[in-house]
Amino acid sequence: MAQAVGILEVFGLTAAFVAADAGCKAANVTLEVFDKNKPAHADELPVPLLVTIKYRGSVADVTAAVEAGIEAANTISGVVTYYVIPNPDDPGVEKMLKISALDKF
């Protein structure tokens, strides 16, 4: 059975680090590589960079991590969106979790 995936998109890299730390301290989860996105309307956003944190673990742990991450990110710059995938069984989902644009300039 696949591990659950929690996806949390926040405004800015600082909020991402704080949310990742909070989620890992709140639950027994691991992190996949962060991803980034700079949308076309970035200048209208509180921070012009969106960063996605991806937690892995049991459904209960991932849910707790996402909730802790949301709370932490909201103290910095805020949350764009979040979602928990309880049982990703499509190989394409696993492949997409490895995608990261943080090393691309």
Beta bridge partners of 79: 10
pLDDT of residue 1 exceeding 70, the answer is no
The model's confidence at residue 93, banded by pLDDT at 50, 70 and 90, is: confident
Residue 103 or residue 12, greater confidence: 12
CATH numeric code, 4-86: 3.30.70.1710
How far, in Å, are 35, 79, 89, 93 from residue 51 at the CA level?
Answer: 6, 10, 24, 18
Please write the tens of the pLDDT for every residue from 24-67: 999 999 999 899 888 888 888 778 889 999 999 999 999 999 99
Q: Which amino acid is at 99?
A: I
How many whole angstroms separate alpha carbon 91 and alpha carbon 72? Answer: 31
Can you give the pTM of this predicted structure?
0.89
Residue 104: the pLDDT is 62
Residue 54 · residue 31 · CB < 8 Å: yes
Residue-range domain boundaries for the chain? 4-86
